Structure 1
Amino acid sequence: MLELGSRTSASASAPASASAPASRAPVDRYARWTGLAVGALASRWLLPMNNGEGTLYAIVVFGLCAVAGVLLGDILTAPRRGAVRTAALTPRRVRDYVPPRMTALLLALATALVVLLTAAATVASPDDLGRAGRALTLTCRGVTESAGPWPGLYYGLPILASLALATAACGWSLRRIATRPGDEQSRRDRALAIVAAWGLVVSSSLFGVASMVSGALMSTTCDGALGVAGNWTVWPLGLIALLTAPWCLFTIISPRATAWRGRRAGTGGTDRR
């Protein structure tokens, strides 16, 4: 795609705020809220499940519904077209529209989530009913202790699948936003909303997994120094995820995904998230 320059002097002098961003369209806002509402209802239905399964799955489902709502709003809302323009040889890239600092943080959290689930799966064991990948079993001083739920493959695979699904859907949407017609601010607003929706899946899933790992380690006395190190690893991750999730949620429910202007937009603003 080619970045476009203004054809007429009148169009060139028009302020960027003259046309309201498409992200303010009611259908977009209602779609986001509907996704969150459906996620909340589904989460409430899943919460009563035993052994902590309900809480973990409720967190994952809520995040996926939030992503679905944002994507649906983007698809149903036509891009806002500005003045007639002429072409200039400046390609539009996805990275020009996403908030760089928040995106880097979310990518780091996603990596931590995958590493944590992989490590948990390697030490997972069957629970007291023989179901594989649901518990952590340790032996010390001739005593064997089993603690759960533990995010082995039984819990980890659905989380990884939801992360992969959300990543693919949001990546496709960001590419679509960057290459389709529309005004610059609208692209940035929508890209921010997509990143926030993906971030909600990442941060909420990481918080759930960190809580599960910490709960299992704290319920056994055979964890030793390895368990202490594990807790001191997952506690900061859980705290960061807990602080990140509200930002993502606020961005999704806001009428306009917090406007920000970067130097690449050519608007003269300097705020970068």
Structure 2
Amino acid sequence: MSLIVLFVLVGTPLLLTMIALSLTRGSVETGEEWTRVRWMWAVAVLIGGVVAWLLYGSLDLGRGAMLVPAVLGVAVVVGVGLGETVVRPQRPAGPRSASLVARQVSDYLPRGLTAVVLATAVLHLATLTLTTVTASPDDMGRAGRQVAAQCGTTGSAASPYPGSYYSVPMSVVFLVIGLTTVAALMAVVRRPRGFAPDEVGDDVLRRWSTTRVLAAAGAALAASHAGTAFFAGTALLRMECQRAWMEPVGWVLVASVPVALLLLGWFLGRIVTPGALPAARPQQPAGAR
């Protein structure tokens, strides 16, 4: 992967985060604390960009490059969750009210986005499973870095192929993404009110934050799948000696690359513009405290 591609992978989320900071200003009336939350997003993504850059330079044979999208996705997810956990709105003086109805994460998840993220995760994990079980050691003895086939007395091999040499560290990072996504969603939904003047505004902010968390996880999955499917598919197709499954699977993987890239663009768009006002929720009883 060239430096230009890396700059795009690292710089695009940073730019989109700054755009998001400006677009969300004034769209919903918020308190001062919400500005600090948004800046925490930007700082988290900046740190994620630095970590991605270091991984790119330290891990050999493309492993660092394959982890760049996942690391940036973790950074966005952590930034949103941490911002709404660490920053606490000021409590108004005098009597306050508290909702007697517990908020559920499912109340704030956009259904379409959630379904697409889950489908992308299943597709990507299925691809990693396939490449892991079908890979073999390369000519230097590095396990899971090429795919090979034997046809009678002749054989063929192709690399790089995303077997265990690449899939194991990617799977570890995606486990981290899954755990941080769940933690961030819970932090967003369970945080106290006060970032907006009323509960309706707070619900809007929660809906936007959950959308950003999901979209960041989806973007990491889609970008990683595009790279994995491209290298796996092209490796399978350029082999002179193939098993029966290799050519059709190779074409399916290559065909999934543009789909993943389109999804990546959509996910990034949802990070920048997470959506409109949520549907009206039923009135919740409140009690003085």
**Which TM-score band applies after superposition, normalised by the shorter structure?**
0.7 to 0.9
1:20-41 CA-partner distances (Å, limit 9, x unpaired):
2469833222222233333334
Alignment partner, residue 276 of structure 2: 260
User: Which blocks of at least 5 consecutive residues in structure 2 are unaligned?
Assistant: 1-25, 194-201, 284-289
- Farther off after superposition, 126-135 or 60-69: 60-69
Partner of 1:185: 204
The offset of 1:199, in angstroms, is: 1.6
Equivalent pair of 1:217/1:231 in contact (CA under 8 Å): yes
Q: Which residue of 2 aligns with 1:59?
A: 69
Task: Determine which of 96, 100, 117 is the counterpart of 2:128.
Answer: 117
TM-score normalised by structure 1 residue count? 0.77
**Deviation of the 1:123 alpha carbon:** 0.9
Comparing 24-33 with 133-142, greater Cα deviation is found at 24-33
Letter in 2 for 1:259: G
Q: 1:35 to 1:87 in 2, by over 3 A?
A: closer
Q: Residues 106 and 236 from structure 1, CA distance in 2 versus in 1: closer, same or farther, beyond 3 angstroms?
A: farther
Closer/same/farther in 2, CA of residues 148 and 22 from structure 1, 3 Å limit = farther
Distance 1:176 1:80, change over 3 A: farther
Structure 1: which amino acid aligns with 2:34? A
Distance in structure 2 (CA, Å) of the matches to 1:18 and 1:247: 21
* Secondary structure at 1:263 match in 2: coil
The one-letter code matched in structure 1 to 2:256 is L
Q: In terms of mean alpha carbon deviation, does 40-49 or 199-208 score higher?
A: 40-49
1:155 aligns with 2:155: no
Return the alpha-carbon distance in structure 1 between the equivalents of residues 104 and 46 of structure 2.
Answer: 32
Deviates further, 109-118 or 72-81:
72-81
Q: Which amino acid aligns with 2:281?
A: A
CA distance in 2, matches of 1:43, 1:87: 41
> Which amino acid is the alignment partner of residue 186 of structure 1?
L
Whole-Å separation in 2 of the counterparts to 1:201 and 1:213 = 18
Deviations 1:111-153 (A, max 9, x none): 1111111111111100111111111011235322221122222
2:108 and 2:210 in contact (8 A); partners too: yes
Kindly indicate whether the alpha-carbon contact (under 8 Å) linking 1:27 and 1:76 is maintained by their aligned counterparts in 2.
no
User: Aligned residue pairs: how many?
Assistant: 247
Q: In structure 1, list runs of 5 or more residues that go unmatched.
A: 1-16, 268-273
Shift of 1:194: 1.3
Query: Higher mean Cα deviation, 223-232 or 108-117?
Result: 223-232
2:36 to 10, 24, 27: 27
* Equivalent in 229, 238, 249 of residue 210 of structure 1: 229
Q: Counterparts of 1:86 and 1:52 in 2: how far apart (Å)?
A: 52
Q: How does 1:171-182 map to 2 (within 5 A)?
A: 171-182=182-193
Q: For the Cα contact (< 8 Å) 2:81–2:187, is it kept in 1?
A: no
Given that residues 203 and 278 in structure 2 are in contact (C-alpha distance below 8 angstroms), is that contact kept between their aligned partners in structure 1? no
Aligned to 1:39: 48
Distance in 2 of aligned mates of 1:166 and 1:150? 23
SS in 2 for 1:265: coil
Please list, as runs of the form range in 1=range in 2, the aligned pairs for 1:63-82 lying within 5 A after superposition: 63-78=73-88
Q: What is the one-letter code of the residue matched to 1:77?
A: V
SS of the aligned residue for 2:245 comes to: helix
Shift of 1:63: 2.5
TM-score (norm 2): 0.73
Q: Which amino acid aligns with 1:60?
A: A
Cα offsets for 1:178-212 (capped at 9, x unmatched): 23322211211211121122222222222221122
| Corresponding residue to 1:102 among 107, 110, 113 | 113
Report the identity percentage: 27
Displacement after TM superposition at 1:213 (Å): 0.8
RMSD: 3.0
Written as runs of structure 1 = structure 2, the 5 A alignment for 1:188-199 is 188-199=207-218
Mark the CA change 1:96 to 1:55 in structure 2 (over 3 Å): closer, same or farther: same
Deviations 1:10-55 (A, max 9, x none): xxxxxxx997246983322222223333333444444466533332
Q: Are the equivalent residues in 1 in contact too, given 2:226–2:261 (CA < 8 A)? A: yes
